[in-house]
Amino acid sequence: MKRNQLVVLLIGLGLLGSANTVLAREPIEPIAPVKEINLAEVELGKKLFFDPRLSKSGVISCNSCHNLSMGGTDNLKTSIGHNWQQGPINSPTVLNSSMNIAQFWDGRAADLKAQAGGPIANPGEMALTHAIAVDVLASIPQYVTEFKQVFGKSPIDIDQVTDAIAEFEKTLITPNSRFDKWLLGNTDAITADEHAGYKLFKDSGCAACHYGPAVGGSSFQKMGIIEEYKTKNTAAGLSAVTGKEADYLKFKVPTLRNVEMTYPYFHDGEAETLTEAVDVMGRLQLGRNYSKKENAQIVAFLKTLTGEQPSLVLPILPPSTNQTPKPKPFE
């Protein structure tokens, strides 16, 4: 939905007094409610998101690295995969991920559905195969029934699995942050310091990349524009997908929604705090050396982007049967 259309809709709903409200002037937009979802598919996808049997070890689920109690991340520099393997890159949040231009830091998955199948078969993550994952689900009568009810056909296939996980992930949005309330006209929703931080955020150029409802996720940018970014991490970024040298160290701009919860920061997880992240990004991307006060004001603004976290009931997973392939946690 375009901004002008959103303004007209909100006016019609009585949420805005006029088109001259705060919203009409800002690069950041409020998060809109989820539309056009299949509730039965969402419930199935929720089970799959939490089911560790989709991993070789039987202990790793989607929620292991994208913990919905921790801002949709694991708060580790890099995630832990099968047999305690160290992941190659920081785990991005799953919250509001439906708003991303593409998935993964390097954009190798076009959408949530394409992303959902990757970790299951990645030997460094869940380390199963798509075929065995389907065999696991097909061995459990309750899953067989639920898949048939949702998709209207059988047998189960990996396309249905990734469809369902993606449908659930579309619901993982975090609306009604204090900053959204300010955007919608509640001038008391943020403090003077937080507003000063937002003004610095805009005037410094941060909003050139961090904009829209997700406050990011809409483009790829080189890490280290003014100064070189030095890291031991070997991730090449977008160039690994395009093969273009010009795309080396270009990464998808991360969302800043709920950023106070999604530490550590950057693709390599090297920035442990928001204060450090703001300092590094100011110098490397913008050529700005923020004072201690300016840094604190920007950090204060960023914390106003924390929205309502997904409220859900943990699914009760159907039990395995004698035919269910057994986990192999030590292989």
Which residues, other chains included, contact 228 with Cβ-Cβ below 8 Å and sequence gap of 6+? 284
Predicted confidence at residue 35, as pLDDT, reads: 86
Give the DSSP letter of residue 20. T
CA distances from 129 to 65, 71, 114, 120, 122 (A): 19, 28, 15, 7, 8
Average pLDDT over every residue of 190-213: 98
Q: 5 phi and psi, to 5 degrees?
A: -65, -40
125 is catalytic: yes
Residues in the chain: 331
Q: Are 32 and 213 a contacting pair, CB within 8 Å?
A: yes
Nearest-angstrom CA–CA distance, 111 and 222: 21
148-177: burial string, b at 16+ Cβ within 10 Å, e else: eebbeeeebbbebbbbbbbbbbbebbbbeb
Q: What is the pLDDT of residues 249-300, one digit of tens each?
A: 999 999 999 999 999 999 999 999 999 999 999 999 999 999 999 999 999 9
Q: Poorest-confidence range of 24-38, 98-112, 221-235, 244-258?
A: 24-38
Residue range 136-157, pLDDT digits in tens: 999 999 999 999 999 999 999 9
Work out the angle at residue 77's Cα, subtended by the Cα atoms of residues 75 and 79, and round it to the nearest 5 degrees: 80
Catalytic residue among 29, 41, 125, 194: 125
Q: Which DSSP symbol is given to 237?
A: B
